[in-house]
Amino acid sequence: MARDRLQMKLVGGAKLDMVLAKMAIDNQSAATKIVKQSLNKGAAEVRKKEKQLAPTESGTLKKAIKNRLSRKTPNRNTFMASVYFAWKRASGSNKGEGGFYSIHTVRGTKNQRPNNFVKKAVQSSESKVRKTIGEQLAANIAAFGQAQVNKL
């Protein structure tokens, strides 16, 4: 099964580098932090939409939806964020609950129709994610610039 993804390419990365260089962002970590914070906010938008669309029998599936930034990327100029299901280890009376629940909900079973709320959430939140990332990039760059001015 192909994963439901939202891939975005940052157009104007050279301009972003130029702006960050003009703002005296010498070290790579400050620029990386600005981009990662913005990307994390965008992933949070998808997470919110998934939680809205997730079926709620017990609420376990909704609680398991999380987002994070990926640490392993092909190169240092690539940033990735993911929205995923985080299941706690089953113990005691909760042994029946776990990771297979999300797969059965999305794909369906012999007795249950599929409910691909993940795909719906990704598709419906694409424009909002792009807008959020753009706004956050602008806000983070402005905040960094203000911090640099305040140091003077």
- In order of 55, 56, 72, the CA distances from 59 in angstroms are 8, 5, 31
pLDDT of residue 130: 87
Rg (CA), the chain: 19
pLDDT of residue 85: 76
pLDDT of residue 2: 42
pLDDT of residue 1: 40
- pTM for the predicted model, two decimal places: 0.72
Q: Are 80 and 69 in contact (CB under 8 A)?
A: yes
Q: Encode pLDDT of 117-152 as tens digits.
A: 888 888 888 889 889 988 998 898 888 878 877 877
Q: Are 98 and 86 in contact (CB under 8 A)?
A: no
Mean pLDDT by 10-residue block, N- to C-terminus, for the chain (152 residues)? 55 66 66 84 89 80 82 74 71 52 72 81 87 89 80 74
